[in-house]
Amino acid sequence: MTAIATPDAAVAVSPVTGAPATPAGVDPRPHVVIVGGGFGGLSAARALSKAPVRITLVDRTNHHLFQPLLYQVATAVLNPSDISVPIRWVLRHQKNVTVLMGEVDRIDPATRTLALDGGTTTLAWDYLVVATGARHAYFGHPEWEQDAPGLKSLEDAIELRRRFLLAFEAAERSTDDAERDALLTFVIVGAGPTGVELAGIIPSVAKESMRDDFRRVDPARTRVILVEGGPRILATFPEHLAARARTDLEKLGVTVRTGCVVTAVDERGVNIGDERIEARTVFWGAGNQASPLGRQLGVPVDRAGRVPVEADQSVPGWPNVFVVGDLAATRHRDGAPVPAVAPAANQTGRHAARSIVADLEGRERPRFSYVNKGDLAVIGRHRAIAAVGPFKLTGTIAWLVWLFVHVLYLVGFRNRLSVLVQWAFAYLAHQRGVRLITHATGPGRPLPSLVPPRHLADERTAPAAATNAPTPVAR
C-alpha cells in the first residue's frame, strides 16, 4: 500500500488500480488540490475560502511572487523580499487550506492522483487546479539560456542582478577600451513589456545611481540595445502608444532594433543575421513556454505548450481538472486569445473556483468572460503608456497610474510600504540602494567579466602589487 498525504490523514491506495480508498475518520469534504502559488493558484484558493472543501496548495517554492516587478529586482532597485511573500502567511487565516512545498512531477487524471518529488508523496484529489505558469522560450535553442537568462523567478532576477552589476565591476578593472565597451553593452532580446521595462530602467540606474561610484569607467557610456523580431515593440498595445514608448526609449539612449532576429548567442555577444554585437551581458525577454505539466493531462497542447480549456476553465474530457493562468490557452467568447498577464491569471483562477462551487451547489457552471482592466508599461521616470478602456494615456499621468496599480496589487501591507519607500528614495535621491552582488558565480559558466584584468597591479601601490603572484579572483 502506498501512502497518500492529505491535509487530515493518510489515505490508502490500491497497488493494483491506484484508486484511493476512503477510510473512516477522513474529512468527507471534497478535496481540491491546487498546483502553483502564483496569481492563478492563489486566487483560486482565496475564492474557495468559504466553500465546503478542503484545499491543498502545492508549490515548488514557499513564496508568492509579484512577477511584474521582477525587473526592478534584476536591476537593483528593489529587494527580493519587497515583491514576494510566504504563501503560508498569505493563507494563514484560511483554515480550509494546507500548504505543501514540493514539486509535482506526475499527474494522473484517470486515478485522480498526483506525485510529488519523484513519487515520495502522492496526493488524491476530487478537483485539481493546475496553475504552474510558464518559462521563457528560446525557439529551439535551449543552449542560449546559459548566456541569455530570462526573468520568471526570484532566482532569475538575482542572477540577472549579479550579471548586471558584475559588468560594471569588470569594466572598472579592464584596461582595454574595446573590452570595456563590450562590458558596458547590454542586449535585451524581446520587446514585450518585460524587455521594454528592462531597457528603460538600465540607463537610469547606470547614469544616475552609479555616476559617482567608479573611477576608471564612466557608467554614462552604458549602451542598451533592445532587439525585437516583430515590426514594432509592445505588439499588444495600440500602435500609437507603442510608438510613443519607442520615442521615450530612444530619448533615454536606448537603441531599438525591430524586425531583427537573433541567430546566435554566446558568452561574448549576439548575432543578428550576419551582424555581430559584442556584449558581455544579454537578457532574454522573448516568448513563453508553458509548464511541462500541461502535457500530462492527456490533451493536445499548442505550440507554446498551453492547454486548451473549456468555457468553465476545465480540461476537455476531464471536467474535474482545471487549468488557469499562463498554462491555459484561454479564449474570449469571440475566439480571440486571452493575454498571458497577471489579471487574466487572477480571473481564471477565481473562475475555476466558481465552477467548483457551482458543482457543489448543483448549479450549471458559468462561462468565463475576461475583463480587460487595461495594459500598462513604464519606460522611465515620468515615462509610461497606459491603455485603460477608452483611455489612452502617456507621460506623467500614465506613470502615476502605473505606480498606483502596481502598489495596489502587491500582496501585504509590508510589501506595499517597503516598495513605496524604495521608490520615493530613488525618486528624490536618484539612488538605488540594493546594488548587492550576493554570489561571485552563479548558474552556468563564470562570466567573462571575471577574467583578471591586465596591468591592474601596476596601477596600485598596495603590497600585493609588489609581488609576482597573480591577482586573486573569486570563482
Given a contact cutoff of 8 angstroms between Cβ atoms, the answer to whether 122 and 3 are in contact is yes
Beta bridge partners of 135: 289
Taking each helix axis from N to C terminus, what angle separates 395-409 and 413-429, rounded to the nearest 10 degrees? 150
Q: Are strands 223-228 and 185-189 parallel, antiparallel or unpaired?
A: parallel
What single DSSP character describes residue 206?
A: I
Taking the C-alpha atoms of residue 41 and residue 291, their distance in angstroms, rounded to an integer, is 14
The C-alpha cell that represents 359 in the structure block:
458543482
What single DSSP character describes residue 374?
A: -
The CA angle 227-451-267, to the nearest 5 degrees, is 25
- Tell me which H or E stretch contains 239: helix 239-251
Q: Are strands 328-329 and 307-308 parallel, antiparallel or unpaired?
A: parallel
Of the residues 197, 239, 361, 459, only one is catalytic, namely 197
Strands (E), 102-140: 104-108, 113-116, 121-124, 127-130, 134-136
Exposed, middle or buried, 108 (CB in 10 Å: 0-12/13-18/19+)? middle
Q: Are strands 97-101 and 54-59 parallel, antiparallel or unpaired?
A: parallel
The C-alpha cell that represents 19 in the structure block:
484508486
Taking each helix axis from N to C terminus, what angle separates 39-47 and 342-360, rounded to the nearest 10 degrees? 30
Given a contact cutoff of 8 angstroms between Cβ atoms, the answer to whether 262 and 272 are in contact is yes
Q: In one letter, which amino acid is 29?
A: R
Residue 144 to residues 135, 157, 284, Cα–Cα distance (Å) = 14, 17, 9
Count CB-CB contacts under 10 A for residue 243: 15
Given a contact cutoff of 8 angstroms between Cβ atoms, the answer to whether 299 and 315 are in contact is yes
Q: In one letter, which amino acid is 150?
A: G
For the question of residue 197 being annotated catalytic, the response is yes
Hey, which residues are catalytic here?
A: 197
